[in-house]
Structure 1
Amino acid sequence: MKTQLAPPDRCSLTLDEFFEYMDSLAQRAPLHELEWRLRALAITIDDVAAQVQFGTDRYRRNLMREGAQYQALILCWRSGQRSPIHNHAHSTCGVRVLKGIATETVFDVSPCGLVKAVSSSDCIEGDVVVTQDSDTHQMSNLEEPGHDLVTLHIYSPPLRWMDTFSLTNGRVERVSEHVDHIDGSGI
């Protein structure tokens, strides 16, 4: 049985409409559907002000909302902060840039077994990036100090673990992903 809601007739979705779709899922969101809905989502930094909280030593992952088949996080990045090189281990991931410029670097495995960067692109406010499963990338804020980055991440199903990759020794490590819960919300 298909649980997907029909896209609305207009070109934009409210947050309520977006989460109505996410709450209706009986299985993970299809990549193309998540991408379309994130692009159509009418959202600003003001809509997520309560979740915009930064870490001092690393980027911070703030829970916005969670359902049976998804997790919505607001990630906050200071200049120079970046994720590990990682995949999404059985999850579909959609990222929407809400403020600042995100740099996505895509990786592949080289013939000697080490990961290597194959492309890098800057994503500005409103841009959407989608990946899933074994797609391997790194997200970064490489802008000058004082230029923060805020991104909305949707993981479907919720991302409980991921594989991280070393640039120097070919080691792959499976790690549980930490989420910050604001005001006692979440799990």
Structure 2
Amino acid sequence: MKTSVKSIKFLDSLHNPSKEDLKTALISLNIELEDVQTELNTSESKPYYRKLLYQNEEVELLVMNWSQLECAPHDHGASQGWIKVLSGSSKNTVYEIKENGLPSELFTKTHDKDQIFYAPVNGIHKMKAEENSDLVTLHLYSPPISGMKVYDLEKCSVCIVSDDCGAWWPDEQRQKLKEMQLNS
């Protein structure tokens, strides 16, 4: 995506943005699938291919092209953000943390093209493209994601991952910043 000067100035003007500021910003950018088509790549071995479109100290804007794999339950560290479905349909499952530290599923909701949904600070969720859906999503977070926790519910484990790792259990040891066993 060729980030326009107008978009850069708009994103640069965000300082400690609120939930509503981020939502307004994502909508105001008016980015559609055609605008990011050249930035998309695929990943058959991971849930998605992600491309950082813009980042400063306050915000980051990413586009994700989803495979048919489901990402792991995860949070976004100390970040909050909004997700816009550019194409396809997203199956989004939201969790709450139980006393043992393990996430427990609360509900699942499908979000279709042009819908946006919120990812709160400390919120845990997982996403997946609906079956046979070519899912592409646009994400605006503040601050840029760091310290993301990824959960492995089968192993009752959680891992804080490096900033270059997505919402999956890391393949490389260097991406595991801290791994913890949880009570089952």
Is 1:65 the counterpart of 2:51? The answer is no
TM-score scaled by structure 1? 0.77
Secondary structure of the residue aligned to 2:37 is helix
Which residue identity does 1:143 align to in structure 2?
E
Deviation at 1:161?
Answer: 2.7
> Following the alignment from structure 1 to structure 2, what is the Cα–Cα distance between the partners of residues 33 and 140?
27
Query: Hey, what does 1:20 align to over in structure 2?
Result: 9
Closer, same or farther: CA 129–16 of 1 in aligned 2, 3 Å: farther
User: For residues 90-109 of structure 1, what are the structure 2 equivalents within 5 Å?
Assistant: 90-109=78-97
Classify the secondary structure of the residue corresponding to 1:161: coil
**Aligned CA distance change for structure 1 residues 121 and 19 (closer, same or farther; 3 Å):** farther
- Residues 78/51 of structure 1: CA separation in 2 closer, same or farther (3 Å cut): same
Unaligned residue ranges in structure 2 (runs of 5+): 167-184
Scaled by the length of structure 2, what TM-score is found? 0.78
- The sequence identity of aligned pairs, in percent, is 26
1:98 & 1:156 partners in 2: Cα distance? 20
Which residue identity lines up with residue 150 of structure 1 in the other structure?
V
**Equivalent in 141, 145, 154 of residue 159 of structure 1:** 145
**Any gaps of 5 or more consecutive residues in structure 1?**
1-14, 181-187
Find the residue that maps to 2:21 and give its secondary structure.
helix
Q: CA deviation at 1:151?
A: 0.5
Query: Distance in 2 between the 1:100 and 1:172 partners?
Result: 30
Partner secondary structure for residue 137 of structure 2: strand
Task: Indicate whether 1:76 and 2:65 are aligned.
Answer: yes
2:5 aligned with 1:36, yes or no?
no
Structure 2 counterparts to residues 112-151 of structure 1, below 5 A: 112-144=100-132, 147-151=133-137
CA distance in 1, matches of 2:165, 2:41: 12
With over 3 angstroms needed to count, the CA separation of the structure-2 counterparts of 1:112 and 1:70, relative to structure 1, is closer
